[in-house]
Amino acid sequence: MGLKHAKLSASSSHRWLHCPGSVKAEEGYPNGTSAAAMEGTAAHELAEIALIEGLSCDKYIGETLPESRYVIDFEMADNVQQYVDFVKTIGGAQEYETRLDFSAWVPEGFGTSDAIALVDNALHVVDLKYGKGIKVDAFENTQALLYALGAYDLYSMLHTIDTIQMHIVQPRLDNIDTWTIDTPTLLKWGEWIRQRAELALSSDAPRAPGLHTCQWCAAKAQCPALKVETERVILSGFDNCDDLLPPQKLTDAELRTALESKKLILSWLDAVEDLVTSRLHNGEQFAGFKLVAGRSSRSWEPGKESELLELFGEVMQVKSFISPAQAEKALGKKSLPMLAEFIIKSEGRPTLAQENDKRKNIQASANDFENIE
């Protein structure tokens, strides 16, 4: 995996396609990494090795991956195997971790596709998502579309391609999703992407705040457009925060606006807090705020367990069954059929969601909340 990063990358495409001004806004911000990102890199490395060598992922448990230096554990092997099995079921001629060039639509656009398969006149593009925080859909997934364009550009010179199937495999959420489109539709998307990429690279590209566009944007704490949007929602119809009406006096339209904007506003406030905290950690001063010690926690001094048992007995230890989730992690997903007959699943508390949420609508009553603490 190369060190070069595309300015208009496929992984951040949802942001720059819908908020073109974010490209310029993020200039100067460092490209950070995280433990989750490094774990994801290791999962992709294991998947490629297993597919190329034709072995089961559990054969590599305990081994250190050559590039990421990650030591493969049971959980990673079990999850990555789900992706490997899916890729194998596609069949056809396959390539893994293939560098794709989609610069015909996005200037200097390139990326690496996890798996590509050509089956008759169908092109399959598979993306492994190792994260477990947010479920990813294949439908109109812009990263998948860019990889599909790159794969089409690579393969269409030698093969007739009628359809493109984009697959998202997210094993830790048991999510496998597919979106199929024909070639004319893909190229139509490509034309829209070309126009948006041109706009994103312009000096006066507009900013368009939104929950998903702002979610991973490095510049959101200092984004004037997001600040204006936050003020618009909070202060709509009022002169200042002191004039805010209680929720009971808001109209349905005002309540809906507030609900639809809640996550975006909280995300911006969290980003502001993180930015100021970071500056204080770096030794800067910030008027009105300071760093203080957080709430401390108590724990036993390491190595004193046997002494505590000798003094106070078994009361110092608690024995209990592990949870179904812990059992699945310890035994692997293949154990689920045997575990299922011992598991009961309680109804979740009714919760508010937008109308386009995929979950089934329920008819709740006051009785649903009587025994909830």
Please write the tens of the pLDDT for every residue from 70-90: 999 999 999 999 999 999 999
Is pLDDT at 363 greater than 80 in this prediction? no
Least trusted range by pLDDT, from 42-46, 278-282, 359-363: 359-363
Is pLDDT at 372 greater than 50 in this prediction? no
The span from the CA of 206 to the CA of 216, in Å, is 18
**∠ CA 249-254-255 to the nearest 5 degrees?**
75
Give residues with Cβ within 8 angstroms of 162, minimum separation 6. 121, 122, 182, 183
Least trusted range by pLDDT, from 136-140, 144-148, 277-281: 277-281
Please write the tens of the pLDDT for every residue from 237-261: 555 555 667 778 778 887 888 888 8
- The pLDDT assigned to 3 comes to 42
CA distances (Å), origin 90, targets 24, 67, 141, 166: 40, 27, 20, 12
Helix (H) or strand (E) holding 110: strand 110-119
Question: 18 with 210: CB under 8 angstroms?
Answer: yes
The span from the CA of 373 to the CA of 371, in Å, is 6
Q: Which amino acid is at 196?
A: R
Which SS3 state, helix, strand or coil, does residue 19 take? coil
> Across all residues in the chain, what is the average pLDDT?
88
Mean per-residue pLDDT, 331-339: 83
Strands of 110-119's sheet, edge to edge? 93-101, 110-119, 122-128, 163-170, 175-182
